[in-house]
Chain A
Amino acid sequence: MNFLLFINKRYILIATILILFPFLTFVSIKYFSLNLNTIDEIKLEISSSDIIEPRFAISNDNEKIFITAKEGNFVEKDKILLENNVKFTSNNFSIISDNVTFDRSNQTANSNNKSIFKSKKTIITSEGFNIYDKGNKINFYGKTNIILK
């Protein structure tokens, strides 16, 4: 008679479970730990700036000015440096610049980079700008060129 037939099936089952359980546990831990690492890496890559694609708004009685950018970094508690393709858009005008400091508490924004303002039949190019008084007033800095169509 075959020797294996003398071994109790229960012992075989228990032994199998005892061997497989730690193995499966080890493999699954490894698998999840690897996945977690890759997610962390991706997160690190994206979050090189404090805010990704930030969106803000300045409101006054006449209009709402929406502010968008690709990146934003906190300079102070309420001051955010908006970088790359910064856009100010309202029903009446748009301003495009690259580096703009937005003050959330005072609802102001200023830039010392080349800026392009566009509204109906009007284009203003300047060396920077400052939006204040809830967007009712805009100051364009430096040598400025205005085209009225």
Chain B
Amino acid sequence: MKYFYTILFFLIFLNVSHSRNIGETQITTDEGIEVFSNEKYYLLKKNVIIESDKFSLSGDNIKIYFNKDMYDITEIEAVGNVKLKSVVNDINALGSFLLFNTVNEEVTIKGLKSKLFTDEFEMSSDGLINVNNKSGNFFINGKNSKLLNEDIIIIGENIKGIFSQENKNKEINYLNVTDKEESYVKSDETDLYAKNIEYNKETSLIELNENVRIIRNGEIVTGDYGTLDTKSNSYKVKSKNTKKVKVIISNSNE
């Protein structure tokens, strides 16, 4: 019993001595840390866990750049099984590489099955995901790039856009999706296909370029250029001189 209490005391003491207070950032590593004073960064080695009031981050190896002193973090570069949970920026991210700029509040995730979630959106890619929380700019590039929320599905090799910064709930103000083969946007009950799809909230227009295909209620319209007015929910499809606009109306929906 005496030994039990002794062990318990040491366990409690060790736990207390390593615990983080409010406002502090705690970092633990399995194989130490290498500090480069002139280069102004430090390398955290193996099973790194960073816990702070604002975010938690884990990864196999993490490199932290600082400004004046070690606490003055400017950029975090994490490699291998990276997981980020930002309470302040409402971001969860997974990937094999992560770059987090604390000054610009910019997150970049690279690698297969990269994911970034907010309360409203889910981004995924086998290439790169970049979100700047200050400016609202985002960029998804590579195979299997997707941007989803409750109402919208966006699929394409290159997805870039701007989130609104006015409201707490993020909305897309601008969107540009390109794919060598076919980009896809699903909004409400309309499926939009084209090599390039561009949306601007100011004009309420979705523009489609090359290999355009719009599907709504069983109606398929194909052409070279198309527009969809999100306010009136009406669309137009044009074609180059050599081709004609093709409309297919499915019997099942008539």
Contacts and interface: CB of A to CB of B under 8 A. Distances in A.
The answer to whether A and B come from one shared complex is yes
B28 A147 contact: no
Contacts of B34: 137-140
Contact of B71 (A62, A121, A139, A142): A121
A120 B24 CA distance: 13
A143 interface: yes
A66 interface: no
A120 B69 CA distance: 7
A59 to B, nearest CB: 13
Contacts of B36: 136-137
B24 A140 contact: no
Contact of B29 (A137, A138, A143, A148): A143
Contacts of A139: 32-35
Contacts of B38: 62, 136
A137 B28 contact: no
B72 to A, nearest CB: 8
A140 B23 contact: no
Nearest to A120: B69
A126 B29 CA distance: 10
A121 B68 CA distance: 11
B23 A149 contact: yes
Q: Count chain B CB atoms within 10 A of each CB in A62, A120, A127 and give the residue with the most.
A: A120
Contacts of B71: 120-122, 148-149
Contacts of A147: 20, 24-27
B149 to A, nearest CB: 35
B108 to A, nearest CB: 23
B7 to A, nearest CB: 19
Interface string B52-77: 10000000000000000111010000
A145 interface: yes
Interface string B1-45: 000000000000000001010011111111111111110000010
Q: Give the interface SS of chain A, mostly helix, strand, loop or mixed.
A: strand
Contacts of A62: 37-38
Given A136-B38, A145-B18, A124 B24 contact: no
B70 A119 contact: yes
Contact of A145 (B27, B52, B69): B27
Contacts of B29: 143-144, 146
B28 A143 contact: yes
Interface in A109-149: 119-122, 124, 126-127, 135-149
Interface in A75-118: 92
A141 B27 contact: no
A126 B37 contact: no
Contact of B24 (A119, A137, A149): A149
A36 B142 CA distance: 86
Contact of A119 (B20, B33, B69): B69
Given A62-B37, A145-B28, 10 more contacts: A62-B38, A92-B69, A120-B71, A121-B69, A126-B32, A137-B37, A138-B34, A143-B32, A146-B28, A149-B23
Interface of A: 62, 92, 119-122, 124, 126-127, 135-149
18 contacts: A62-B38, A122-B69, A138-B37, A139-B33, A139-B34, A139-B35, A141-B32, A142-B31, A143-B28, A143-B30, A144-B31, A144-B33, A145-B18, A145-B26, A146-B28, A146-B70, A147-B25, A148-B73
7 nearest A-B pairs in the assembled complex, by CB-CB distance: A146-B27, A121-B71, A148-B25, A148-B71, A122-B70, A138-B35, A140-B32
